[in-house]
């Protein structure tokens, strides 16, 4: 009896410690007020997914659909919106289990789930032709989308994309390591210290001072939207690599731009060069002194290379869109 009494006391102390020191979820209403104002929109797709998107730039220009990386949000692309929006229509979204989109019923947060949701969004917006691009996990989704729906894709942009052969595996951040460990990964749903998020941003980038207090708060608060931490745990239990898709990449007939930070500590440049060798006719730009987020670390340089790539694409694909640019709204 004494043993069980002691065990109960220990369990009670542990439960109290977890309750006291846990990192609570962010309040959804406060998050949407802070990060979901105009030009943000919340749309509901046919399968019931409520998705946070932004539809910006020149509504008469060629359309870009840009996808952020793991544990990030559509805000990643705002520097490009500012630099390229004069000429191009730019659609960004928070992927399932990210940002203000949050949980998506029936989604395992794999690449396949996101490819399906992106295609549902494309259909919802009435896009017949567009350029798709993404960073990291978003880059993986982008090239997998191009393989599955190539007739809709006029161009492909890969920024430090994952899903390649992982030729020189890099050490993962603490959060990503924990996310891949069974049982221990459940702790991430309870404990997400701001210091861990700060370290993750600093590990991902190479520019001094990039991890500002504002950026750290944005990543930290959005990562704690209800459902997002569970989604991250689930995402890291799903295999990300497949040689079957690698073989298909060698037959991809879509103009492709690859941009990569030479100092990327998450997805090594060797993978970027592999994409460049594997995708027929791919163009590659490598940035010295830049890490995993070229579009945010060197927005002017990466946007200039992107503009040149887009302007060189065949003009016959730029037929006028039949769907008008949506008006900003904050209603589900």
Q: Which domains can be identified in the chain, with CATH numbers?
A: 27-317 (3.40.50.1820)
Tell me the angle at which helices 137-148 and 111-125 cross, rounded to the nearest 10 degrees: 70
Q: What is the pLDDT of residue 190?
A: 75
In the predicted model, what is the mean pLDDT of residues 64-87?
Answer: 97
E strand intervals along 118-217: 130-135, 153-159
**Which run of H or E residues covers position 40?**
strand 40-44
pLDDT at 22 over 90: no
For residues 16 and 139, the model is more confident at: 139
pLDDT at residue 311 above 80? yes
- Collapsing DSSP states into helix, strand and coil, what is residue 69? coil
| pLDDT at residue 17, as a whole number | 37
Confidence of residue 235 (pLDDT cuts 50, 70, 90): confident
Predicted confidence at residue 242, as pLDDT, reads: 64
Token reading at 60: 């008469």
Picking from 62-66, 89-93, 99-103, 173-177, which range would have the lowest pLDDT averaged per residue? 173-177
On the question of pLDDT at 1 being above 60, the answer is no
With a cut of 60, say whether residue 214 has pLDDT above it: yes
Q: Which two tokens stand for residue 304?
A: 């200039």
Residue 184 has pLDDT above 70, yes or no: no
pLDDT at 238 over 80: no
Q: What pLDDT band is residue 331 in, cutting at 50, 70 and 90?
A: very low
Q: Please state, rounded to an integer, the average pLDDT across all residues of the chain.
A: 87
Single out the residue of 329, 306, 320, 300 nearest to residue 82, CA to CA. 300
């Amino acid at each position: 009896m004494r043993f069980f009494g002691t065990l109960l006391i220990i369990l009670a102390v542990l439960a109290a410690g977890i309750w006291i020191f846990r990192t609570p979820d962010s309040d959804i209403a406060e998050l949407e007020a802070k990060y979901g104002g105009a030009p943000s929109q919340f749309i509901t797709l046919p399968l019931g997914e409520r998705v946070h998107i932004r539809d910006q730039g020149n509504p008469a220009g060629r359309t870009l659909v840009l996808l952020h990386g793991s544990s990030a949000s559509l805000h990643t692309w705002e520097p490009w919106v500012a630099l390229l929006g004069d000429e191009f229509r730019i659609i960004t979204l928070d992927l399932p289990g990210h940002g203000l989109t949050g949980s998506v019923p029936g989604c395992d947060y794999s690449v396949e789930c996101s490819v399906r949701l992106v295609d549902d969004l494309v259909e919802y917006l009435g896009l017949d032709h567009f350029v798709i691009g993404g960073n990291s996990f978003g880059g993986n989704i982008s090239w997998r989308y191009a393989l599955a729906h190539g007739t809709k894709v006029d161009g492909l942009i890969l920024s430090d994309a994952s899903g390649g052969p992982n030729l020189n595996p890099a050490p993962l951040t603490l959060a990503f390591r924990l996310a891949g460990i069974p049982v221990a990964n459940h702790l991430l749903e309870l404990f997400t210290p701001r210091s861990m998020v700060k370290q993750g941003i600093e590990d991902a980038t190479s520019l001094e001072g990039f991890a500002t207090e504002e950026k750290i708060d944005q990543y930290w608060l959005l990562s704690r939207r209800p459902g997002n931490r569970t989604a991250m745990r689930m995402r890291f239990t799903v295999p990300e690599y497949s040689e079957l898709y690698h073989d298909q990449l060698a037959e991809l007939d879509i103009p492709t731009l690859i941009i990569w930070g030479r100092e990327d500590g998450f997805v090594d440049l060797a993978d970027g060069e592999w994409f460049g060798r594997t995708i027929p006719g791919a163009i590659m730009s490598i940035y010295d002194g830049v890490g995993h987020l070229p579009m945010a670390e060197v927005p002017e340089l990466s946007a200039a290379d992107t503009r040149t790539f887009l302007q060189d694409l065949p003009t016959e694909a730029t037929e006028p869109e039949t769907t008008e640019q949506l008006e900003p709204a904050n209603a589900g």
